[in-house]
A and B are shown apart, each in its own frame.
Chain A
Amino acid sequence: MNFNATLIGQMITFGLLVLFTMKYVWPPIMQAMQDRQKRIADGLASAERGMREQELAKAKAAQMLKEAKQQAAEIVAQAHKRANEVIEQSKLDARAEGDRQLAVAKAEIEQEANRAREQLRHQVVSLAVAGAGKILRREVDEAANAALLDDLVAQL
C-alpha cells in the first residue's frame, strides 16, 4: 500500500481519457442534443404557425362559402325570373303564330271554296246546257223553254 510509479501511469491514462473524451465523445453527443433541441423547437413553432394558418383558412373558407351561397341564391332567383320571362314570351309568340296560321288556313279555305264554287257553277251551266240541248232535241218550244232557262240561270 505505497505510492509508486503506478501513480504516474494512472495520471497518464487519465489525461489520455480526458483528451479523447474532449475530442471525440463530448462534442458530437452535445451537438446531436442541441440539434435535436433546435429541431423540436422549430417543429413546435411551425406547428403553432400551421394551426394559426389553419384557423385563418377556416375563417376564409367560411366567408367564401357564405358569399358563394349568396351568389348562388341570386343566380337562382335571376334564372327563375328569366325562365318566367321566356315562358311568357313563348306564350305570346305561340299565340301570334297560331293566329297567323289560322288566318292563312282560313284564307286558303276561302280560296278553295271559291274555286270549288266556280267550278261547280261551270259544271252546272254545262249540265244545264246539255240538259237543255236534250230537251230541245225532243220538243222545240222556244217560248216555254226560254222561261225555263231564265228561271234556271237566275237560280244559279
Chain B
Amino acid sequence: MSETGHSMTGYIVHHLTNLRFDLTKMHFLHGEETGGFGVIHLDTLLFSAGLGVLFLWLFMKAAKTATSGVPGPLQNFCEIMVEFVDTQVKDSFHGRNPVIAPLALTIFVWVFLWNAMDLLPVDLLPSIAGLFGIHYLRSVPSTDLNSTFGMSISVLLLVYYYSIKVKGPLHFTMEVLTHPFGKWLMPFNLLLRIVEDLAKPISLGLRLFGNLYAGELIFILIALLPWWLQFTLGWPWAVFHILIITLQAFIFMVLTIVYLSMAHEDH
C-alpha cells in the first residue's frame, strides 16, 4: 500500500513538474534538482507562444480578408469576439485609448486558449512527449505561476504607465501621497497605495493560477481512478471546467480593463 501511495505521489509530482532548462548551466533539470532565476520552463514558453501564434493566425487571417459585405464563418467568429470585448471595454472605460481594447482581446483569447489546454486528457501530451524522450511536460500554461504573473505584472506596468502619462508625474505623486486620507497622513497613504497596487497583480495572477492549478490537480486525481470509473467524474468535471476556463479568461480581461480605466481617472 505504501508502494502504491508512493507511486501515486510520484505520478502527481511528475505531472506537476515543468520541463526545466537552466540557462546558467545550459542543461535540463531532472527530478528534485532546483535552479535559480536562470531556469526557464520550456513547456510553458512553447505552449503559450504556440497558442499565441494560433490566436494571431486565426484573427489575422480573418482581419486580412475582413469585408464589410457578407462575412464568412471565421470572420463572423472573430467579429463576435471583437464585438464582445469592445462592449466590455466600452462598458467600463470611457476614455480614449487605442491599446486597451486590443489588449483585452489578447488577454481574453490567449488566457482562454491556455486554459483550454486543460481539457486535453492529462496524460495525452506528456505521453507523446515521452515517445520523443521528453520526460517532463506540463501543457497548461496557466498552471504556471510565471505565466499568470507575467501577464498580471505586465498589466500593472501598463497601469503605472498610463497613470503617469495621463495624470502627469507630479499629479500622480500627489495622488499617491495624499489619497485617501489627506496630506497629514502621507506615510499611511503611501503604505496603503503600495498594498493596493501589490494586491492587483497578485490577485489577478493567483486567481487564474489557483483555479487552473486546482482544476488540473483534480483531473490528475481523476486519472488515478480505475479506467472504468474515470468518466463518471471526469466528464462532469470537464463540462464544469468549460465554464471555469471561460470565466477565468473573462475575469482576467474585465479586471484588466477596470484597472486600466482606474488609471485614467482622477480619484
Task: Give the residues from 35 to 49 in chain A that come closer than 8 angstroms, CB to CB, to chain B.
Answer: 35-36, 38-39
B38 at the A interface (CB under 8 A): yes
Do A14 and B151 form a contact, CB below 8 Å, given A25-B102, A32-B68?
A: yes
Q: A21 at interface (Cβ–Cβ under 8 A)? A: yes
Question: Are B150 and A8 interface neighbours, CB within 8 A?
Answer: yes
* CB < 8 Å neighbour of B39 from A4, A29, A36: A4
Where the two chains meet, the residues of A that have a C-beta atom closer than 8 Å to any C-beta of B are 1-11, 13-18, 20-22, 24-33, 35-36, 38-39
Query: Are A29 and B82 interface neighbours, CB within 8 A?
Result: yes
Residues of chain B whose beta carbon lies under 8 Å from any beta carbon of chain A = 16, 23, 34-41, 44-45, 48-49, 52, 55-56, 59-60, 62-64, 66-69, 71, 75, 78-79, 82-83, 86, 98-99, 101-103, 105-106, 110, 141, 144-147, 149-151, 153-154
In the bound assembly, the distance between CA atoms of A17 and B36 in angstroms comes to 27
Q: Is the interface of B mostly helix, strand, loop or mixed?
A: helix
Q: Are B55 and A17 in contact (CB under 8 A)?
A: yes
Question: B110: which A residues are within 8 A, CB to CB?
Answer: 14, 17
Contact A6 B68 (CB under 8 A): no
11 contacts between A and B (CB under 8 A): A3-B149, A7-B146, A10-B141, A11-B150, A11-B154, A18-B106, A21-B56, A22-B98, A25-B63, A32-B67, A36-B68
Which chain A residues lie closer than 8 Å to B60 at the CB level?
20, 24-25
Option from A5, A16, A30 in Cβ contact (under 8 Å) with B82: A30
A17 touches B68 (CB 8 A): no
Q: Is the CB of A7 within 8 A of B105?
A: no
Decide if B99 touches A15 in the complex (CB within 8 Å): no
**Can you name the residue of chain A whose Cβ is closest to the Cβ of B85?**
A26
- When distances are taken between beta carbons in the complex, the residues of chain B under 8 Å from A3 are 37, 145-146, 149
A5-B23, A7-B149, A25-B63 are known contacts. Are A39 and B68 too (CB-CB below 8 A)? yes
- Complex alpha-carbon distance, A11 and B78, angstroms: 24
Contacts A5-B40, A18-B99, A25-B60; A32 near B66 (Cβ below 8 A)? yes
* Interchain CB contact under 8 A, A6 and B67: no
Residue contact B150 to A6, C-beta cutoff 8 Å: yes
A36 cross-chain contacts in B, Cβ below 8 A: 68-69, 71
Contacts known (A4-B39, A25-B59, A29-B78); A14 close to B154, Cβ less than 8 A: yes
Q: Once the chains bind, are A10 and B79 in contact (CB under 8 Å)?
A: no
Nearest neighbor of A6 in chain B, beta-carbon distance:
B146
| Pairwise interchain contact B150-A9, C-beta atoms closer than 8 A | yes
Chain B residues closer than 8 Å to A38, beta-carbon distance: 68
Taking the closest CB of chain B, its distance from the CB of A4, in whole angstroms, is: 4
- Identify the closest chain B residue to A9 (Cβ): B45
Contact A21 B106 (CB under 8 A): yes
